[in-house]
Chains A and B, each alone.
Chain A
Amino acid sequence: SAVISQKPSRDICQRGTSLTIQCQVDSQVTMMFWYRQQPGQSLTLIATANQGSEATYESGFVIDKFPISRPNLTFSTLTVSNMSPEDSSIYLCSVVVRFTDTQYFGPGTRLTVL
């Protein structure tokens, strides 16, 4: 398994500002993902964080709005830029641990935009 930490665990932000969420994992991982989960909804993949290169974004998500970094195998950041109330959601970091086929999730960051 893997222990995944996210910071912050929650935040309340003003419209138009940006928030950077950090994800740190204690194991060697092959893949890191960022998901969004809006209230009562399932998980929506935002992007795959690629080490040392630009993230791979899913349809409907763009780098200008959700810039992602992954400087090494065990750390990634997601920035939610120019926030609006529609961005209020839980943002989850997820990893696939090396030598396994199992995906694990971080505890999530609960974001409220006023």
Chain B
Amino acid sequence: GQNIDQPTEMTATEGAIVQINCTYQTSGFNGLFWYQQHAGEAPTFLSYNVLDGLEEKGRFSSFLSRSKGYSYLLLKELQMKDSASYLCAVIRPGGSYIPTFGRGTSLIVHP
């Protein structure tokens, strides 16, 4: 099976930087996704990491270390609209493309 851990909730100040961590324990690994989900809306794709290292995309960056089973999502210059749930998902090993989602981290950005 797969076990994916994320903090349940985080708070941060507008304009600041926040790092949301995700650790996973799997028998194999085919990639890791980060999604953003605002309340009442569907998840939207943020990033996809399959190799070690940092992927930067505007204010958002995602890091992966396969040897440590660890990823983080880094959000810079936080805005109020970044208040949302952030979901980490690991693609199930075995060749089939089926992500398993963590419980999500609820980020609250305050002024």
Residues of A10-66 whose CB lies within 8 A of B:
30-31, 33, 41-45, 48
| Interface size classification for chain A | 10 to 19
For A45, give its contact among B33, B98, B104 (CB under 8 Å): B98
In angstroms, Cα B35 to Cα A33, docked, is 16
Contact residues of A: prevailing secondary structure:
strand
**Chain B positions within 8 Å of A106 at CB level:** 42
Contact A43 B101 (CB under 8 A): yes
- The answer to whether residues A103 and B45 also contact, given A31-B97, A43-B87 and a CB cut-off of 8 A, is yes
**Chain B positions within 8 Å of A43 at CB level:** 43, 87, 101
Binding site for A on B (CB under 8 A): 31, 33, 35, 41-45, 48, 50, 87, 89, 96-104
Binding site for B on A (CB under 8 A): 30-31, 33, 41-45, 48, 92, 96, 101-108
